[in-house]
Amino acid sequence: MKLLDKYNRLTFWNKLAVWGSLVSIVSFGLYFWPSKKNEAPQQTTQVQDSKGATIMQSGRDIVINQSMPSGNPSLMTLPTIEKPAPATAQRVFTKRSLRELMALYEGRTMLQADALIDPYKGLWISITTEIIQLIPASDGITTVLQRGSDIVNARFDNTWRRSLARVNNGETITLRGRISESQNGQQLYLMECEISE
């Protein structure tokens, strides 16, 4: 008996099952088929004829400042700085406390609370908290902090590694950080953090 004869003897529902199985097998194969669509786009920027320009990267943003101080540019040198200098003039700080921001999630769904905390995303906050843990990564340090019942997840880049290496669990630090766009109400996520002195 040939395959076609066996197929013709099937009931309608059995035929439907055969076709469904074939479609599933083909879909499964296509899902794992290599594709160039998954590659992340790369962006390159070239800066030419920019003697004395200052190039800074903050997160995903790159800022190029081409203003030159007066004097002979060939004789000027930039000072070496161990820590990044804070650009506080460009930062807008929230007047809300850590407790007030975390209270936005209490008794609400995450969807409701996200609408309430949305105006504060991207703003900066200065807080004093106790260190629970320092978690190293190749691109920086995640610091888990606690103040009362509120937890903070603060992300520092590697320029702060040496300063944070001297801090122990249970010590209190004051820091500044930008409130992340991604929040879940369990803890406050801060990016681009720096220690306040």
Evaluate whether 177 touches 191 at the Cβ level (below 8 Å). yes
Which of 115, 156, 154 minimizes the C-alpha distance to 132?
154
Query: pLDDT tens digits for 3-46?
Result: 888 888 889 898 888 888 888 888 877 777 776 655 555 555 55
pLDDT band at 182 (very low <50, low <70, confident <90, very high): confident
Instruction: Determine the average pLDDT of the residues in 146-171.
Output: 90
Residue carrying the six token digits 């004829």: 49
Pairing of strands 54-58, 140-147: unpaired
Can you list the domains of the chain with their CATH numbers? 90-195 (2.40.50.140)
Evaluate whether 144 touches 135 at the Cβ level (below 8 Å). yes
Instruction: Determine the average pLDDT of the residues in 113-136.
Output: 90
Residue 72 has pLDDT above 50, yes or no: no
Token pair for residue 27?
């879909």
Residue 110 has pLDDT above 90, yes or no: no
Which parts of the chain fold into alpha helices (H)? Answer: 3-9, 12-31, 98-103, 110-117, 161-165
